[in-house]
Amino acid sequence: MNQKLTNIILLSLSFVVMVIGVHRSIVEQDIIGNYWLYMIGLVLFMLYYYRNKKHGA
């Protein structure tokens, strides 16, 4: 798969997961219960950042 496309997908997924986490935290009024969503978003963003630095884009 194209490296740029993979990076765009990783960045988009990290943003979407963080937005879902914020929405669920507001609706359910439970940040701790949705902590796993924040961590998935953070891991996806870290993968994007690492891949972006590794390929010198």
pLDDT at 57: 56
In a 3-state reduction of DSSP, which class is residue 30? coil
CA distance 7 to 49: 9
> How many domains in the chain?
1
What averages of pLDDT result for each successive group of 10 residues across the chain (57 residues)? Answer: 90 97 96 95 96 78
- Residue range(s) defining the domain that contains residue 48: 3-54
pLDDT at 45: 96
CA distance 4 to 41: 19
pLDDT at 1: 74
CA distance 15 to 47: 13
Cβ-based neighbour number of residue 41 at 10 Å: 20
pLDDT at 48: 94
Residue with tokens 């969503």: 37
